[in-house]
Structure 1
């Protein structure tokens, strides 16, 4: 009798579908017109570039968009924004360039971080903890 209960528990399957994910994810890379202005991204530089792009495009409304910086590496940055602000961030980043000739390029974007990482051309080791 206990084996029947165990078999019944093992055959139970649960499915979960999330139709409206709350966030959008981006992989951005910095580009420079001149080699002198070329520098790697860190969290502060990425934040200042994103703030400048959002402010130039939408003013104070753009600055109020919450942007989470997930990771910076060399010339790339991964960010998370609310899904409702995805179009505004896309437009702001696409049209922005600094006075020094630095701009941001959208390498990948999507509703799931795993898909953005895979489309960005990076290997799976990128998100593993370094020991």
Structure 2
């Protein structure tokens, strides 16, 4: 590479008069040194990432494959910035269409459009949960 830099020192062939300026000097890095402690830390980070990806893949299920309790926990633990999804909860007596807001003490809190306050439904009474949309 050094040879190619030295052969490029030929002046440009222009027929326009230009002032004689000093050629800019090149100051570049000439060597690099590394220690093994950074490489070991990167290897450890890679191992942790691989373990995390493997555990995430085991935890992720399709919505159809989840149990009722897993579905309720999934909707109740959604972050606030994610749009809430309307669900249809079928119990023995009634259908509820609304947004699952919370799950505490085996009670599911559902915000129904027809009522101002959330409705509490015991998880044992829920037969099925279906997605409706946003």
Structure whose CA Rg is larger: 2
Higher relative contact order (CA 8 A, sep 6+): 1
After TM superposition, the score normalised by the length of structure 1 is 0.20
After TM superposition, the score normalised by the length of structure 2 is 0.20
Name the one with the larger helix percent. 1
